[in-house]
Structure 1
Amino acid sequence: MATYDAKLINQAIDSVVEKHSPRGNRIGWLMIASIFVEAWDLYSISFVLIFLEKIYHPSSWLLGMVGAAVQGGAVIGAVVGGWLTDRLGRRTVFLGTMLMFFVVGIAQAFSPNMGVLTVLRFILGIPLGMDIANGYTYIMESVQRGHRDVMGNRWQFVFAVGEVFSIAVVLLFLVLHVPYGPMWRVILGLSGVWALILFFLRRELPETVIWLIQKGRFKEAKRTAEEMYGDDLDMLPDEDVEVPEVHLGGFLREIRKDRTRWRASIFGWIAGFMQSSEFSTFGFYLPVLFVLLGVSDVTTTDFITLLIYLVAVISGWVGPALVLKIGQRKLSMYGFGIVFVALIGAAVAIFAKALIILPIAAAVMLWGHYWDAENVMTIPSMVAPARYRGTASGFSYIWVKIPGFLSTFLYPKFFDAIGKGGATLFTAIFPLIGLLAAIFILPEVYRFKGES
């Protein structure tokens, strides 16, 4: 057996990251496509809560917990999924999460009561968190340097598509006068169908060349690299080597050795918390906004929401393309800045009772949000050493899901306590902190190149 050589491994990994492969791009899109399943699971519930309330008459606490449960499960899934991704491999975890999505997603549709639904949605959040951690690892190791920045940032575009699609399905059911009982079961159960489709699309995915190299499985790495990139990695020996196992505790020590890695990671964690907080709180606020305008009909409310999220779809597509011209740092600055201004404008409109401005402010806010949220997973995953990339992606996603859980669960009570205008002003704190972090903490990391 050949001798372990860290410099040789780094040389091979750097060679792979610089190469373009159409198959690698396809893998990247398959990873991004899984965000559709997450978007459906996260946000379809928000459009059926009104039906659940009419059928089961739950307490406000139980209703909030049903909406937030999947976020709580995702925190656990992000931690476990990141560790398993580095330990067992990208492919094993990736296929496993889709099977879990399918089983638990379908099971939601057969929940006998709100309590069981809450438990199932918490369990559903576990593969959700695992999939994001694993998917970003796949993107960073399958797509060429420079292009992986763009591919990673596309997750918000697919999020917006998932949200629009879920609203459209609810609207269709309402127009067809489908009873509330069957409606919520079909809508939530559809997540299992989407997961099954993705499972079949992914079933022949190869393991990433970079993970195989890191694990010393050189023979398989050389064969896979030849198939994907036309490069047999001739710098590596034709036999496997024993590579020392990495430990979870070494992750933070490793990224602190490099100033750029450390500052970029810290920014990712801060920005993830802030963008999730601004969205989860304002996401709750949108239905109230329409009530203020005198819109009480469910169908009309969903239609207006659909129009606003179409703006988010456009923003989610434009943002990644801008990275090629302005970089990651300016994209974050512009995104958080737009959200901050939009929320201040919304607060002023509420206090001045100029309520016609609120839908415009909501659309502007979402435009900025889909820029500031795009790179909070891309940046920490991209700058992480390859041997800790799954762990880095999972750790970063924790900072997205914790505020998502807390905001969804607690914000309705907070909203009632301080009023509509005060709540909107308070929400503006989140993008302001994100903007300051982008200005003073984030270095430009577009096309980042560091030792693996």
Structure 2
Amino acid sequence: MSSDRPFSAATHEELLALSDQAARRVMNTQGTKSGQGVGWLMMATILVESWDIYSISFLLVFIKHDFHPSALLLGLTSSAVQLGGLFGAIFGGWLADRLGRRWVFISTMVLFVILAPLQGFVTAMWQLVIIRFLLGFPLSSDLASGYAYIMEAMPRGKREVMGNRKQAMFAVGEVLAIAVITVMMIAGVDHSLLWRIGLALGAVPALFLLLGRMNITDTAPSLILRGKFHQAKQVSQVMFHDPLDMLPDRDYRIKRPSTANFLKSIWSDPVRRRASVFGWISNAAQTASFGAFGFYLPTVLGLAGFSKDPIGTNLMTGAIYCLAAVSGFIGPQITSRIGHRGIAQWGFGISFVSLLVAAIAIQANFGIVLLIAAAAMMWGQYWAGTNGMTVTAMVAPTRYKATACGFGYIFVKLGSAVTLFLFPVLLEAVGTAGATAIVSLIALAGFLAARYILPEVYGYVEAEHMSVSRIAA
């Protein structure tokens, strides 16, 4: 079988049209159990990221005791993964669209398995900052490619339900982190050793995930649009029971469209444009409000005087995250009834009201009211955060799918990085109540975006009306 034969402009245009036709056919076909099983494997990535991001929130008190960092350096340590994730989101999607999904999945987990344990051997705060910055790259790259995989390997309706399970998996990772750290605290593990073990343990689920991914293939649409027709036909037969007879059983070199044309492609269609803009706003708003209040929830509860015992605070926080996990599992199931607009409006609306109540409760020192408001806020946050990435991935053209996911995830990391970096400073400047009230405005912005920008796109299937050459013209 020959491959990579260059073609004239006319022949190349025909190949582009043929690949678009095959990709659309796959995206409109019911998937098999194989595709759905791989979808869960992609979602498991979020558990790894959740462990790494949120375990440090319960370990900061011990890290501070060992290194005595300034508030600015403490915020930089907390946000380093998010800052590194900005670069991972940018380049991870780009690499996945050009080199394939599988290449990204394997390389990112290898990097994480190597880097995560190194956190346990640092001797200075700046070393921890650097390692956590590097960790952000594989985590974000993997998630951007994973969302593209879900949208390409599963049928419509099911693909968005799976994508909306992101928050549920985050909650599972958070609860596991809290449980393991609390058990080590109860067991009397030395605090200087405890935080090192807690951060390094993220390599364990990552290793299992790496082993589970060794036998997966690229998605059929990704292979089609890269001219890998022979393998695409085989993958499509397994995942969709469709041999794609319209494709030749050989590979060709298809010129990849310029990434510079990605935004032009999104902007060319009003549904794609509005849905993508909402996704970007939602990603930033949800992670910004959650990153500030949710990430520092143990600190907030301590400053509010609700619990002075670290173990008690962990157990209380764990109970709230268990409730959030229930919310994360319910949200995707009801999306088919109330739509993407409905789940986003309810989520951001609940979060906005809860944060305002929490600010008042902190100011008035109403501990019980604060606990109820925090639980309600988490419920709302886990609905608000279900579909920002899902909508972004759904409406993107297949040839830009991973690039679109990476671009959308930039806003996730940007919103989180900014607030994690500035929230400790904000706490010192205006106090816990004032900082919480300010954060509520971010949730309000998400609600307004869901109500006035997002069109209902549940069940959306892309329709690439323009060829790549016309988009680039």
- Where in structure 2 are the equivalents of 1:394-405 lying within 5 Å? 394-405=406-417
- 1: CA distance between counterparts of 2:415 and 2:377? 18
- Where in structure 2 are the equivalents of 1:357-436 lying within 5 Å? 357-436=369-448
Given residue 390 of structure 2, which amino acid in structure 1 is its aligned partner? T
8 Å Cα contact 2:78-2:420 kept in structure 1: yes
Cα pair distance change 1:37/1:93, threshold 3 Å: same
8 Å Cα contact 1:10-1:451 kept in structure 2: no
Q: Give, in angstroms, the shift of residue 116 of structure 1.
A: 1.0
8 Å Cα contact 1:67-1:409 kept in structure 2: yes
8 Å Cα contact 2:279-2:388 kept in structure 1: yes
1:171 aligns with 2:182: yes
- 2: CA distance between counterparts of 1:12 and 1:86? 17
1:345 aligns with 2:364: no
SS of match in other structure, 1:442: coil
- 2: CA distance between counterparts of 1:418 and 1:60? 15
2:196 corresponding residue in structure 1? 185
1:16 corresponding residue in structure 2? 26
- 2: CA distance between counterparts of 1:131 and 1:84? 11
1:321 corresponding residue in structure 2? 333
8 Å Cα contact 2:303-2:432 kept in structure 1: no
SS of match in other structure, 1:419: helix
- 2: CA distance between counterparts of 1:95 and 1:50? 34
- Where in structure 2 are the equivalents of 1:20-419 lying within 5 Å? 20-283=31-294, 284-419=296-431
Given residue 207 of structure 2, which amino acid in structure 1 is its aligned partner? L
Structure 2: any 5+ residue segments left out of the alignment?
465-473
- 2: CA distance between counterparts of 1:30 and 1:72? 25
Given residue 251 of structure 1, which amino acid in structure 2 is its aligned partner? F
Given residue 279 of structure 1, which amino acid in structure 2 is its aligned partner? F
Q: Give, in angstroms, the shift of residue 419 of structure 1.
A: 2.2
- 1: CA distance between counterparts of 2:425 and 2:95? 37
Q: Give, in angstroms, the shift of residue 285 of structure 1.
A: 4.6
2:467 corresponding residue in structure 1? none
8 Å Cα contact 1:219-1:239 kept in structure 2: yes
SS of match in other structure, 1:243: coil
- 2: CA distance between counterparts of 1:180 and 1:352? 33
- 2: CA distance between counterparts of 1:353 and 1:40? 31
- 1: CA distance between counterparts of 2:64 and 2:365? 30
Cα pair distance change 1:96/1:217, threshold 3 Å: same
1:447 aligns with 2:463: no
Residue by residue over 1:246-302, the C-alpha shift from the partner in whole angstroms, topping out at 9 and shown as x without a partner, is: 111010001111110010000000111111111011122542224423411111111
The TM-score normalised by the length of structure 1 is 0.97
Structure 1: any 5+ residue segments left out of the alignment?
none
8 Å Cα contact 2:85-2:137 kept in structure 1: yes
Residue by residue over 1:117-136, the C-alpha shift from the partner in whole angstroms, topping out at 9 and shown as x without a partner, is: 11111101111111111111
- 1: CA distance between counterparts of 2:288 and 2:361? 21
Number of equivalent positions:
452
8 Å Cα contact 1:293-1:356 kept in structure 2: no
Q: Give, in angstroms, the shift of residue 162 of structure 1.
A: 0.3
8 Å Cα contact 1:286-1:362 kept in structure 2: no
Given residue 178 of structure 2, which amino acid in structure 1 is its aligned partner? I
8 Å Cα contact 2:91-2:141 kept in structure 1: yes
- 1: CA distance between counterparts of 2:298 and 2:209? 31
- 2: CA distance between counterparts of 1:376 and 1:406? 18
8 Å Cα contact 1:339-1:364 kept in structure 2: yes
Q: Give, in angstroms, the shift of residue 370 of structure 1.
A: 0.3
- 1: CA distance between counterparts of 2:200 and 2:434? 37
Higher mean displacement: 217-226 or 370-379: 217-226
8 Å Cα contact 1:273-1:399 kept in structure 2: yes
SS of match in other structure, 1:417: helix
- 2: CA distance between counterparts of 1:117 and 1:128? 16
8 Å Cα contact 1:71-1:401 kept in structure 2: yes
8 Å Cα contact 1:106-1:193 kept in structure 2: no
- 2: CA distance between counterparts of 1:337 and 1:102? 38
Paired-residue identity, %: 45
Residue by residue over 1:55-75, the C-alpha shift from the partner in whole angstroms, topping out at 9 and shown as x without a partner, is: 222222222221111111000
